[in-house]
Amino acid sequence: MIKCINVADLRVGMYIHDLNCDWMSHPFLSKRFLVRRPDEIEKIAASGIHEVYIDTSKGLDVDHAPTAHEVKQQLESEIIAFASSTQALPRKVEAYSELSQARQINEQANQIVFDIMQDVRLGQQVELEKMEPAVTRMTQSILRNNGALLSLCRIKNKDDYTFRHSVSVGALMISFCNAMGMDKQTIHLAGIGGMLHDIGKMKIPDSILNKPGRLTEDEFGIIKCHVVESKQILQATNGISSQSIEVAAQHHERHDGSGYPAGLKGDEISQLGQMAAIVDVYDALTSERCYHNAMSPTDALRKIYEWSKFHFNPQLVQAFMRCIGIYPVGTLVMLESGRLGVVIEQNDNSLAAPKVKVFFSSKSNTHIRPEIVDLSRNLGMGGGDKIVRHESASKWRLDPLRFL
C-alpha cells in the first residue's frame, strides 16, 4: 500500500515510493529506494522535502498515515470545489481562431531563443533587441486567447527541451501576469525574464545538461549553478530590467526557504520570482524528459497544489490554476458517456466544466463525428455530459490538437 507520511515519521527500513517533489529539488539518484541509514533521512529533510510517499509492501508502515488514494481524493475535491466557483479569464477570440497565428509565433520565438542561447554558448552577450518583438507578439496572442499558444508550448521533445522550455515559461509568465491584472510593461518584462530564465544553462557542460538519466550528487550541484550564471549573464545585458532578472534569479527559490541559490523565504522572494517558481515546475512536470515521463497538465496542477502547503504561495497557485484552467486547452478527456474529446475552451462560469470537442468513442474504439459539448449546459442544450478523468493521448494514439 502507498501512504503519505511526514518526513518526521520517516524511519530506517521504510521504502520511499516517491520523494514528492520536482526533480530539481532533490539530489538522489532515484526517487524510489529503501532507507538504510539515518543520514539518508537527514538528506531528505535538508532538501526541503516535508512529506514523502512510502510503499508499505516493501518496508515499514505508519499506521496513522493516509493512503495515496485518500490524499489524491482530498486534493481533487478541493481543486474541483475551487474550479466550480471560479470564472475563466476573458478572451477576445476562440482558441481555434488563434491557433494558426499562435503556431507561427511559437516557432519564431523558439528560433530566437535557440539563436540567443547559441550566442551565449559562444561567449557573446544577450542581444535583447532580438527578443523584444517576439515577446510583444506572444503577449498579443495571449491577450486574444491564452489557450491557443499555451497548448502549443506543451509540444516538446527531449532534444530541444532547453530552449522550448524557456519559450513556454515566457508564455506562461505572460499569461499568469495578465491573469493577475498586471500592467502591460510588467507583463512584457516578465515574459522576457521567463524566456531568459535558464540562459545560464549554456555555461553548463552538455554532458551534464543533456545527460540521459539521473544526475549524480556532484552533477546536481553543478547544474544548480545555472541560476547564478543566469543572473550574471542578465546583469551584463544592456537594457535588461530588474524585474526580468528577478524571474531568472529566483525561479528556484521556495516559499518555505528550502530553495536555492539564496534560500529566500516568503515575501523575501519577489512576486514575479514566486510566480516563476510555479510556472517553471509546471512546465517541467508536463514535459517529456530522458529521466521522467510527462505528466498531464491536470496531474501537474494537482501536485503543485499539494506542494503549495510548503513550497509555493497558495494564493498564487490558485491564481495560476485560474490562468490555465484545471483542464487546459488541448487536454484529452474522457466523458461519462464514454466519448473522448479535447478541451477547446474554458467555460466562462466554471473551470470544472469546459467546452469539449468529442471525436472518439471508447466503447466502439472508433472515431465519431466531431461535436462540441458545453459541459456547463444541460442535456438538450449542447451539454448533458461531464468529465470523468483526463486521458493520455499516447495511450489512445490520438493527437487531440488536430481537433482544436
Q: What cell was used for 44?
A: 531528505
One fold for both 2-66 and 95-324? no
> Up-side HSE of residue 340: CA atoms within 13 Å toward CB?
24
Q: What is the pLDDT of residue 215?
A: 80
Residues of the chain with pLDDT under 50: none
Q: What is the pLDDT of residue 84?
A: 82
Q: What is the pLDDT of residue 192?
A: 98
Q: What is the pLDDT of residue 383?
A: 65
Q: What is the DSSP string of 109-142?
A: HHHHHHHHHHHHHTTPPP-HHHHHHHHHHHHHHH
* One-letter amino acid of 133: P
Q: What is the pLDDT of residue 379?
A: 65
Domain boundaries, the chain: 2-66, 95-324, 332-403
Characterise 120 by phi-psi region: left (phi > 0), alpha (psi -120 to 50), beta (else). Answer: alpha
Cα–Cα distance, 316 to 308 (Å, whole number): 9
Cα–Cα distance, 196 to 45 (Å, whole number): 31
Q: What is the pLDDT of residue 288?
A: 81
Cα–Cα distance, 101 to 149 (Å, whole number): 9
Q: What is the pLDDT of residue 108?
A: 96
Cα–Cα distance, 378 to 89 (Å, whole number): 23
Strands 387-390, 332-335: pairing kind: antiparallel
Q: What is the pLDDT of residue 382?
A: 56
Q: What is the pLDDT of residue 277?
A: 98
Q: Are 341 and 329 in contact (CB under 8 A)?
A: no
Give kind and range of the element (H or E) at residue 27. Answer: none
Task: Name the pTM for this structure.
Answer: 0.94
Q: What cell was used for 2?
A: 502507498
Q: What is the pLDDT of residue 380?
A: 56
Cα–Cα distance, 157 to 154 (Å, whole number): 10
Give the gyration radius of the chain's Cα atoms.
21
- Fold for 2-66, please state it: Molybdopterin biosynthesis moea protein, domain 2 (3.90.105)
Cα–Cα distance, 302 to 75 (Å, whole number): 7
**95-324 is classed CATH 1.10.3210.10:** yes
Q: What is the pLDDT of residue 214?
A: 76
DSSP state of 347: -
